[in-house]
Amino acid sequence: MEELNKTQIVLLTLLVSFVTSIATGIVTVTLMDQAPPAVTQTINHVVEKTIETVVPGEVQKTTVVTKQIKVRDEDQIVNAVAKNQKAILTIGGVNMSGAIDTLGIGSAISSDGLVVVDKSKMLGNRNNLVISKGGLVMEAAIVGESPDGYYLLQADLSTATSSIDTSLDHASSTVAIPDVSFSPLVLADSDQVKLGQTAIAINERSVATGIVSGLSHADSSSDSAVPPLVQIETTIPNNPANAGGPVLNLDGSTIGINVLNSDGMIITLPSNSIKDTMASISVATDTADTIESK
C-alpha cells in the first residue's frame, strides 16, 4: 500500500466500493427473498414513497382564462322595458252617461297607489277618475299638482273590482279582490343625468329610444349652487301617446316623466321634480294629521 501513488489509491477505493455495493445488493436480495411478506410490503412501500418524493410526477399547470362578457345596449334596453312595463297604467274618467272614457296613461310611483299623470290629459275630468291595472278598476283622486305639467293621483285600492262597474257603487261586484299593490318605477337622481346617455320612452304599447341631447336648468342669481334641472331634452321622436309615461336609463331607473306642453309637444320633466312633489304631499298629510289630533 505504501508503494501506491494517489491515482492508484483512488482507483482501489472505487473498486472496493463497487465490490461492496454488489455484495450488499446480493445480500439484500437474498434477505428479501427469505423475509416474511409483511416485511417485504413495508419495505416496498417505503421505497415507493421515497421515489415519489425524490422524483415527483408531472406537475399540473393551472391556466386561468379570463373571459370578458360584453353586455349589449340592446339587452339592457330590453331588460329596462321589461322591468317597468307593469308600472304603466290606464287612466279613465266616468262621463255623464256613466261610461268610462280613456284619458291616457299614468305611471305608478309607489306600491300603495300613487300615480303620476299628464295634467293636460285630465282637463275637464278632475272628478270621477279611475285607474285600470291588470284587469282591475279602482277609483282615484288628485292629491298633488305640479305647475310643470302633471298631477299625482292616489288610487283607492279598497275600491278595486275585477268588473268594470261604471256606477262605481260596486253593487254588482261579488268577487273578493285580494290585496292590491302597484309595481312602481324607481326614480333615479335626475341631477346625475349626462348628455349623450341613452334614453328610453315607454307607453303601454310601444318603446322608443334616443339620447339625452340637452339639459335645461332654472334661472338662478346665485353662483354658489347649480340651478335645479327643470327639463331633459332627448332625441326620442315626438309621440303624444308617451305623455304620462316614463323616460328610463339603461339601468331601468326613471330619469323623467313625459308630458305635453301647450304646443302639443312632448317634454321630459326630471324625476327629482316628482320626488319634491311627493315630499310636499307627505308634509301636507303630516300637517293635517297634526291639526286633527289637536
- DSSP assignment, residue 131? E
Does residue 69 sit within a domain? no
Q: Do residues 95 and 3 both lie within one domain? A: no
Specify the residue for cell string 308634509.
283
Q: At residue 118, what is the residue type?
A: D
Domain total of the chain: 2
Backbone angle region of 17, left / alpha / beta, with phi > 0 → left and psi within -120 to 50 → alpha:
alpha
Residue 206 and residue 183: Cα distance in Å, rounded?
19
Q: Do residues 104 and 189 both lie within one domain? A: yes
* pTM of this structure: 0.68
Does residue 47 sit within a domain? no
> Residues 161-213: pLDDT tens digits?
875 454 555 444 445 566 778 999 999 999 999 999 999 999 999 999 999 99
Task: Using the predicted structure, report yes or no on whether residue 281 has a pLDDT greater than 80.
Answer: yes
User: Using DSSP, how many helices (H) and how many strands (E) does the chain show?
Assistant: 4, 12
Contact 104, 91 (CB under 8 A): yes
Q: Do residues 120 and 19 both lie within one domain? A: no
**Cell numbers linked to 193:** 343625468
> Residues 66-124: pLDDT tens digits?
555 556 789 999 999 999 999 999 999 888 888 888 999 999 999 999 999 999 888 76
Task: Using the predicted structure, report yes or no on whether residue 236 has a pLDDT greater than 80.
Answer: yes
Task: Using the predicted structure, report yes or no on whether residue 250 has a pLDDT greater than 90.
Answer: yes
Does residue 56 sit within a domain? no
Contact 148, 232 (CB under 8 A): no
pLDDT at site 72: 77
More confident residue, 288 or 63: 63
- DSSP assignment, residue 290? H
Does residue 136 sit within a domain? yes
pLDDT at site 173: 47
Q: Do residues 6 and 95 both lie within one domain? A: no
Residue 207 and residue 128: Cα distance in Å, rounded?
30
Residue 218 and residue 224: Cα distance in Å, rounded?
14
Does residue 43 sit within a domain? no
Does residue 52 sit within a domain? no
CATH number at residue 179: 2.40.10.120
Residue 243 and residue 204: Cα distance in Å, rounded?
11
Q: Do residues 14 and 153 both lie within one domain? A: no
- Within the chain, strands assigned E span 88-94, 100-108, 114-118, 129-133, 136-146, 150-155, 198-202, 207-217, 229-234, 246-248, 254-260, 266-270
- Rounded to the nearest 5°, which phi and psi values hold at 19? -65, -40
Q: Do residues 86 and 185 both lie within one domain? A: yes
pLDDT at site 215: 96
Measured CA angle at 151 (ends 192, 206), to 5 deg: 70
pLDDT at site 291: 36
Q: Do residues 149 and 6 both lie within one domain? A: no
**Cell numbers linked to 230:** 327643470
Does residue 115 sit within a domain? yes
Task: Using the predicted structure, report yes or no on whether residue 25 has a pLDDT greater than 60.
Answer: yes
Contact 160, 126 (CB under 8 A): no
Q: Do residues 109 and 229 both lie within one domain? A: yes
Q: Do residues 96 and 197 both lie within one domain? A: yes
Q: Do residues 95 and 211 both lie within one domain? A: yes
Which structural domain range is residue 230 located in? 76-290
Q: Do residues 81 and 22 both lie within one domain? A: no
> Residues 259-280: pLDDT tens digits?
999 888 999 999 999 999 999 8
> Residues 36-71: pLDDT tens digits?
655 555 555 544 554 444 445 555 555 555 555 556
Q: Do residues 92 and 213 both lie within one domain? A: yes
- DSSP assignment, residue 196? T
Does residue 51 sit within a domain? no
Task: Using the predicted structure, report yes or no on whether residue 223 has a pLDDT greater than 70.
Answer: no
